[in-house]
Structure 1
Amino acid sequence: MTALRRLERAVDLDHGDHVAWAYEDRADLRTVLADTFTEAAGRGEQLVYVGNRHPAALCDDLADLDGRDAMLENGRLRLHSIAELYHATGRFEPRAQVETFRAEAQRAVSAGYHGLRVVGDVTDLVTDAAGHAAFVDYELALEAMYAVTPVTGICAFDRHRVGEQWREIAALHRLQRAVGQEPGFALTYASGAVRLFGELDASSAAEFRRLLDAVLAATTGVLEVDLDRLDFIDVSASRVLAEARETMACANRDLQLTGVRRAAVLPLAAFNLHGGAPR
């Protein structure tokens, strides 16, 4: 499983990789597109670029991509608006959108491609509270699809428009990039388990709480929280887990910790949280 890391360029990506990229300006975005689509074309993948702009403007974003016009003509490269791909039913439906991309990847393979490479400038999906909440649900649902589907995805965001929301959005991806910012933590969900990566402390406790609350709202039954890839957790983040356990207990649900490392034992024990023999 991919560890939490910061990317310098949008290359050396494989099927199942899911990236959050905060671009500084259009030139930065054009570089991302040229880098990742050049790599994907060389691997025989189909290329899809999605954005909330006029088709001519989307095409201009790909000006640095060699062979752009030929790939547009033969169908290897496809351009879509946000409305076409994310609002096909008139509104953004997270679970349906996951199935849309699963079907897109299957069609690409059926057409003879080796997979699907998607870059979506999805800034406009997260700039209001309702859209942000729906996007969090969408990202949580994507992990299971990425694990079994030949797709590589880059979620691109205008750093200046997204602002402080970036921290929470980025934390839904194990591969992250923002100028001058190291990844703090990541949270993914699949097969009944939350997996945590990186470091959780007072600076990230608020984002951790909101994302964990989103998981609780979207799930039922026992929830496993796997700390095997978590390098550090402090008391403030441990408190978030303790409060989640209490919330679940009120609903006759159980929170189970697994993969607890020795360094996490003391902060977790402060709230009577245990996860078996520590590593």
Structure 2
Amino acid sequence: MRSPRTGEPALRHVCWAYDDQGAFAAEAERHLLDGLAAGERVWYVTARPDDASTTRLLRLPAFADAVARGAAEVVPLSSAYASGALVTASAQIAAYDDATAAALAAGHRGLRVVADATELVRTPAQLDAFARYEHRIDRWMLTRPFRAMCAYDRTQLGPAVAELACLHPAANITEPQFRLFAAPPGVGHAGVAGALDSDNRHLFRTALDRADLQPDDGELVLQATDLSFLDHRALVALDEYARRRAAVAVLRTSRSAVARLVSLLSLSSVRVEVGP
């Protein structure tokens, strides 16, 4: 799969799974240098601030110069995520909000972070808490000049990486084929892209629960124009999710067949709006 260009405006929040530390270091460098070129303050957040990858980064003239003038910093993981081993979404978002405000006050255009969060998702409880945080901060990013590349070591975390990747608008891996991410204010509660099939239907349920979408006026609006395939079991899961929240899930799609499928399944808590 072609790697997403993390410097593109649409890719504010990228999941980067890696199997090789050197390859990740090269991608992190590119992402951080893109941020400096855009006038942003950049942070490299790592649990290993003394390892070879960090040393290599600090030897880059552009990054070393940025460190000297306060535009770049290597931040220990324990400092950036001060809430501890189990990340609390509200506390962590507040911390990044403060850091972004400080970057703006210092004359930068925003804050860009590359964070290797592998150590924060090792246990089931950590994974669940961090996945919930990933969606919450994705929503927060829509209104703040903040970008992030969240990195995870696939050799250590295995299939758990897919549970995190699916809650980002962009990732460098294809599994689990779908993405559930925050929609811009006034557009909807979430966007859904990719393919929802029988293989990932259980993860889709989990992703919905972790996103914890809150209805407005009895509706949960999902933008699904970039959804290429939708299995009937995913529609049933969405119907159940909406009913638990006493809401109707409004699925906006360009596929008229989805409306017919909803009718055939008699799903009373899903409404399809077909458009371009």
TM-score range, shorter chain: 0.7 to 0.9
Partner of 1:83: 78
1:137 shift after superposition: 1.3
Change (3 A) 1:176 1:88: same
Note if contact 1:105-1:150 (Cα within 8 Å) is conserved in structure 2.
Answer: yes
1:62 to 52, 57, 65: 57
Partner of 1:38: 33
| Distance in 2 of aligned mates of 1:213 and 1:238 | 15
Note if contact 2:135-2:182 (Cα within 8 Å) is conserved in structure 1.
Answer: yes
Partner of 2:46: 51
Runs of at least 5 residues in structure 1 that lack an aligned partner in the other structure: 1-5
2:236 to 236, 239, 242: 239
Runs of at least 5 residues in structure 2 that lack an aligned partner in the other structure: none
1:56 shift after superposition: 5.3
Superposed CA deviations along residues 36-94 of structure 1, whole A, max 9, x for unmatched, are: 12211122211101111244556325257433322222221111122111124675211
Aligned residue runs from structure 1 range 1-279, under 5 A: 8=3, 10-14=5-9, 17-55=12-50, 59-60=54-55, 62=57, 65-88=60-83, 91-178=86-173, 181=174, 184-189=177-182, 193-216=189-212, 219=214, 222-226=218-222, 227-248=224-245, 253-260=246-253, 261-273=255-267, 274-279=270-275
- Which AA in structure 2 matches 1:268? V
RMSD between superposed Cα atoms in Å:
2.5
Matched residue SS, 1:148: coil
- TM-score (normalised: structure 2): 0.86
- Which AA in structure 2 matches 1:196? V
Identity %: 25
| Distance in 2 of aligned mates of 1:185 and 1:153 | 20
Note if contact 1:16-1:148 (Cα within 8 Å) is conserved in structure 2.
Answer: no
Q: What is the aligned residue count?
A: 267
Note if contact 1:16-1:149 (Cα within 8 Å) is conserved in structure 2.
Answer: no
Structure with the bigger RCO (C-alpha within 8 Å, sep 6+) is 1
Partner of 1:3: none
Change (3 A) 1:79 1:124: same
- TM-score (normalised: structure 1): 0.85
Matched residue SS, 1:275: strand
